[in-house]
Structure 1
Amino acid sequence: MLITVFRLLAKARHARAVHPRGVQTTGELRGFAAPFPQQATVAVRLSKGAGTGQGLPDVLGLALRVPTESGDWDLLLSSTGTGRWTRLVPKFVRRWRDARLGTIAPYRYRGELVWFMAVPDDGELPKRFAVHISGKDAGWRRIAEVAVNPGDSTEAPEAFDPVLTLPPELEMAPRWLAVVRAKAYEGSRRGRRES
Structure 2
Amino acid sequence: MGMAYSHTMRTKERPIILARGATTALFSAAGLAIGVGFAALGALRRNRPIHSVGTVVPGKLVINTPGAIGATLFDTAGETPLIARLSRSLSWPVDLPDVLGVALRIPGAGPNGGAADLLFASTGTGRITRYILHFHWAEASGPLTTMFPLTGARGNIVFRLDPESRVDYRLAYSRNSGPWIPLGWVSLDAPRESGQRSNNPAGPDDAQLRFRPVGQPLDGLTTPTWLRAARSPAYSLARFTGRTPPGSS
TM-score range, shorter chain: 0.7 to 0.9
Deviation of 1:112 (Å): 0.5
Change (3 A) 1:94 1:168: same
Deviation of 1:190 (Å): 1.3
Deviation of 1:4 (Å): 2.3
Asked if 1:62 is matched to 2:105, the reply is no
- From 20, 25, 35, the counterpart of 2:73: 35
Change (3 A) 1:137 1:163: closer
- Point out where structure 2 has 5 or more consecutive residues left out of the alignment: 1-31, 67-71, 193-202
Deviation of 1:149 (Å): 0.8
Task: Report the secondary structure of 2:124's partner residue.
Answer: coil
- Contact 1:163–1:185 (CA under 8 A) maintained in structure 2: no
TM-score norm. by structure 1 comes to 0.87
- Contact 1:80–1:88 (CA under 8 A) maintained in structure 2: yes
CA deviation vs aligned residue, 1:124-170 (integer Å, no higher than 9, x gap): xx111111100124311111311111269544342112122224522
- The residue aligned with 1:20 is 52
Q: How does 1:47-58 map to 2 (within 5 A)?
A: 47-53=87-93, 55-58=95-98
Whole-Å separation in 2 of the counterparts to 1:160 and 1:65: 7
CA deviation vs aligned residue, 1:74-121 (integer Å, no higher than 9, x gap): 100000000000001111111233211001111102241010010112
- The residue aligned with 1:171 is 222
The structure that has the greater radius of gyration is 2
Asked if 1:81 is matched to 2:124, the reply is yes
Task: Report the secondary structure of 1:143's partner residue.
Answer: strand
Q: Which has the higher helix share?
A: 2
Q: Which has the higher strand share?
A: 1
- Contact 2:101–2:121 (CA under 8 A) maintained in structure 1: yes
Q: How does 1:92-111 map to 2 (within 5 A)?
A: 92-111=135-154
Moved over 3 A (4+): 34-37, 151-155
Task: State the identity as a percent.
Answer: 28
Superposition RMSD in Å: 2.2
Change (3 A) 1:119 1:55: farther
Whole-Å separation in 1 of the counterparts to 2:53 and 2:105: 17
User: How many residues are matched?
Assistant: 191
With 55-64 and 78-87 compared, the bigger mean Cα shift is at 55-64
Deviation of 1:194 (Å): 8.0
- The residue aligned with 1:135 is 175
Whole-Å separation in 2 of the counterparts to 1:142 and 1:167: 18
Q: How does 1:125-164 map to 2 (within 5 A)?
A: 126-150=166-190, 154-157=204-207, 158-164=209-215
- Point out where structure 1 has 5 or more consecutive residues left out of the alignment: none
- Contact 2:102–2:121 (CA under 8 A) maintained in structure 1: yes
- Contact 2:88–2:98 (CA under 8 A) maintained in structure 1: yes
- Contact 1:83–1:138 (CA under 8 A) maintained in structure 2: no
Letter in 1 for 2:172: H
Task: Report the secondary structure of 1:47's partner residue.
Answer: strand
With 55-64 and 164-173 compared, the bigger mean Cα shift is at 164-173
Asked if 1:119 is matched to 2:157, the reply is no
Change (3 A) 1:69 1:31: farther
- From 31, 35, 45, the counterpart of 2:85: 45
Whole-Å separation in 2 of the counterparts to 1:26 and 1:44: 6
Asked if 1:190 is matched to 2:240, the reply is yes
- Contact 2:110–2:116 (CA under 8 A) maintained in structure 1: no
Change (3 A) 1:97 1:54: farther
